């Protein structure tokens, strides 16, 4: 006896596969699009295949920012960027303490900004944000999408304070380890808005300037090698 349409539909739903490229696992839930592994990756990193940006990944770009600071310590732009961040933190203090009706994710994001602003030097936050923009400009293939970049930006900014880390005990070694406490995607999206409002234009301008500088250095090198060939 042939199966009814309802039974066929039920079987189809039960056999839904993960949408992540190259994955042959079943979706974690009937209405989800990803398996447990890739759903977790998308929630944490902004894309199911996005790799997290670590401190060591960002270190070369932090050093680029610090070198530029050392070359031009008298420039007012450095102070202005720190003041912009400080002003954004103060705005978020008001949002976090406002007990009126408000989108809960905006309030959560505001509290995260305040947490970072009150426990991390403004200079460190500015350098981290600028470094992330440089990383995106000079190594754009590292990010699967704009959402993946924004998610990694939030993770690196929140990672500047230990207040966003939790302790857990490894059941195999019985040793204590630290792990970052995750922020839900909607709150991370709201936090991105606050960061962009304060430092987004600064990051975009510096990234574009650094790209032009890199192209100039590459062209100088090509011109030099062309001059060397003339000696042959």
Contact between residue 97 and residue 104 where contact means Cβ atoms under 8 Å apart: no
On whether both 82 and 148 belong to a single domain, the answer is yes
pLDDT of residue 177: 64
On whether both 182 and 96 belong to a single domain, the answer is yes
Tokens of residue 225, six digits = 């090698």
Q: Alpha helices, DSSP H only, in the chain? A: 5-14, 36-45, 55-71, 76-97, 104-119, 122-138, 146-158, 185-195, 201-229
Tokens of residue 221, six digits = 């090198």
Q: Which domain holds residue 133?
A: 51-229
On whether both 141 and 36 belong to a single domain, the answer is no
- Total domains, the chain: 2
Q: What is the pLDDT of residues 103-142, one digit of tens each?
A: 999 999 999 999 999 999 999 999 999 999 999 999 989 9
**C-alpha–C-alpha distance, residues 43 and 151, integer Å:** 9
Contact between residue 147 and residue 192 where contact means Cβ atoms under 8 Å apart: no
On whether both 151 and 213 belong to a single domain, the answer is yes
Tokens of residue 11, six digits = 């079987």
On whether both 155 and 113 belong to a single domain, the answer is yes
On whether both 118 and 197 belong to a single domain, the answer is yes
**pTM reported for the whole predicted model:** 0.82
Q: Which residue has the higher pLDDT, 22 or 127?
A: 127
In this prediction, residues 88-95 reach a mean pLDDT of: 96
Of 77-86, 93-102, 108-117, 178-187, the least confident: 178-187
Q: Read off the pLDDT band of 169 (50, 70, 90).
A: low
Helix (H) or strand (E) holding 138: helix 122-138
**C-alpha–C-alpha distance, residues 144 and 46, integer Å:** 9
pLDDT of residue 147: 93
pLDDT of residue 229: 80
| CA-based nearest residue to 72, from 209, 168, 212 | 209
């Amino acid at each position: 006896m042939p199966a009814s349409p309802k039974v066929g539909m039920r079987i189809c739903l039960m056999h839904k596969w993960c949408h992540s490229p190259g994955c042959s696992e079943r979706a974690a839930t009937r209405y989800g699009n990803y398996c447990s592994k890739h759903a977790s990756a998308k929630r944490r990193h902004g894309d199911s295949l996005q790799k997290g940006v670590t401190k060591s990944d960002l270190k070369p770009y932090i050093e680029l920012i610090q070198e530029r600071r050392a070359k031009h310590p008298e420039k007012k732009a450095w102070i202005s960027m720190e003041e912009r961040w400080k002003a954004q933190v103060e705005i978020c203090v008001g949002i976090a303490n406002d007990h009126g009706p408000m989108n809960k994710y905006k309030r959560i994001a505001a509290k995260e900004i305040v947490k970072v602003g009150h426990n991390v030097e403004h200079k460190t936050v500015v350098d981290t944000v600028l470094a992330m923009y440089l990383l995106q400009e000079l190594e754009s293939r590292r990010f699967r999408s704009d959402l993946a970049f924004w998610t990694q930006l939030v993770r690196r900014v929140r990672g500047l304070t230990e207040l966003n880390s939790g302790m857990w005990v490894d059941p195999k070694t019985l040793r204590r380890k630290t792990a970052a406490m995750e922020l839900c995607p909607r709150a991370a999206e709201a936090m991105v808005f606050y960061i962009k409002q304060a430092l987004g234009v600064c990051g975009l301008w510096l990234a574009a300037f650094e790209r032009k500088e890199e192209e100039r250095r590459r062209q100088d090198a090509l011109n030099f090698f062309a001059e060397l060939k003339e000696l042959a």
